[in-house]
Amino acid sequence: MIDALPDLGAFFAGVAATLPEDPRGEDGPAALTAQTLPAPPAALRVAGLRATWFWHWYEDSPAEHVSLEVDKPALRALGLLILATLLHPEVGPVTLHLDPTGADDGERRHVIDRLVVAPRVDADDAVGLVVRPRAFNYWPRALDKHPWFDERPAPDELPVITLRATDWALDELDGRHEAVGFGAPRPAARFAALCLDASRPGNDRLEIVLEGEQGFRGVGVGSAELTLWLPGSFGYG
């Protein structure tokens, strides 16, 4: 069944090949719109992306942490998928079926087998003016390990990723094998741009860490922390 789903990388391959790659380039940003990005189906499979989650501690405070091991083609396609869900208002949540990562190893690390890209655009419940994204102008930039620490964005400008149990057994925390991201349109677009930046052939930053309030703040309130591990990094493979 999963093998019959469209492949994420192939679905966005045409657009991925047109993106600018040099942060010093002078050819201007790429304008991504509903006309240039195809509307994704409700489910896709993806090769080159594995995910796990685990607990770690800040002194006496526990924190959830999601770890994505991802190659550059899959990461670029993920960024484009996030933007496509924002720019096509008719598109609902999109479920990505991930590469298998083996069995859970008990108390330390748990497999995530589905990543749901679900933009929070709540037009039906809003009061007053509702603004929807129309375009995203992408200009590549170089990355730091903690990419937004110097900017000090507000918490509501940062992406969110949460974990949930597929059988809704919410009392069984270790049974959560599905992750949902990445928040409201602006923070989701911020994370999408990060994916595109990290996927550039010239990017040599192979570990990107988005920590919570107790660390180098890179995720919003209520979010698990998130690390991207690219091929060649300590945490990949």
Say what the pLDDT of residue 214 is.
Answer: 87
Number of compact structural domains in the chain: 1
Domain encompassing residue 111: 2-19+30-121+144-229
Whether 138 is in a domain gets the answer: no
For residue 1, pLDDT over 60 is answered with yes
H/E run at residue 165? strand 160-165
Residue 130 placed within a domain: no
Tokens 């993106």 sit at which residue? 19
How many angstroms separate the CA atoms of 130 and 101, rounded?
41
Q: What is the mean pLDDT of the chain?
A: 89
- The neighbouring-strand residues paired with 165 are 176
Q: Is the pLDDT of residue 192 over 70?
A: yes
What separation in angstroms does the CA of 59 have from each of 56, 62, 179, 214, 227? 9, 8, 25, 10, 20
Rg (CA), the chain: 17
User: pLDDT > 90: what percent of the chain?
Assistant: 68
170-180 per-position pLDDT tens digit: 556 667 889 99
What is the mean predicted confidence (pLDDT) over 108-123? 83
Using pLDDT thresholds of 50, 70 and 90, give the confidence band for residue 57: confident
* Identity of the residue numbered 178: E
pLDDT exceeding 70 applies to what percent of the chain?
A: 89
Residue 174 lies in a domain: yes
Is 129 inside any structural domain?
Answer: no
Q: For residue 136, tell me if it sits in a domain.
A: no
Distance CA 150, CA 64 (A): 24
- Condensed to tens digits (0 to 9), the pLDDT of residues 128-143 reads 877 788 999 999 999 9
Asked if residues 226 and 219 have their Cβ atoms less than 8 Å apart, the reply is yes
Look at residue 36 in the predicted model and tell me its pLDDT.
95
Q: Higher-confidence residue: 121 or 81?
A: 81
Q: Is the pLDDT of residue 226 over 90?
A: yes
Per-residue pLDDT at 102 exceeds 60: no
Q: How far apart are the C-alpha atoms of 214 and 194, rounded to whole Å?
A: 21
- 198 burial class (0-12, 13-18, 19+ CB within 10 angstroms)? buried
| Residue 126 located in a structural domain | no
Question: What are the φ and ψ backbone dihedral angles of 215, each rounded to 5 degrees?
Answer: -120, -140
Quote the pLDDT of residue 179.
Answer: 96
Confidence of residue 145 (pLDDT cuts 50, 70, 90): very high
Residue where the block lists tokens 């890209």: 117
CA 202 to chain CA centroid, Å, is 20
Strand ordering across the sheet containing 160-165: 43-45, 94-97, 114-117, 176-182, 160-165
Tell me the pLDDT band of 182, cut-offs 50, 70 and 90. very high
On the question of pLDDT at 61 being above 90, the answer is no
The whole-model pTM stands at: 0.92
Whether 104 has a pLDDT exceeding 60, the answer reads: no
The structure tokens listed for 104 are 């859970």
pLDDT above 90 for 112: yes
The pLDDT, as a whole number, for residue 122 is 61
- The answer to whether 110 touches 135, Cβ cutoff 8 Å, is no
In a domain, 234, yes or no: no
Q: Does residue 128 form part of some domain?
A: no
Q: Is the pLDDT of residue 202 over 80?
A: yes
Q: In what order do the strands lie in the sheet with 49-58?
A: 110-112, 49-58, 61-70, 225-229, 207-210
Please give the pLDDT value at position 222: 92
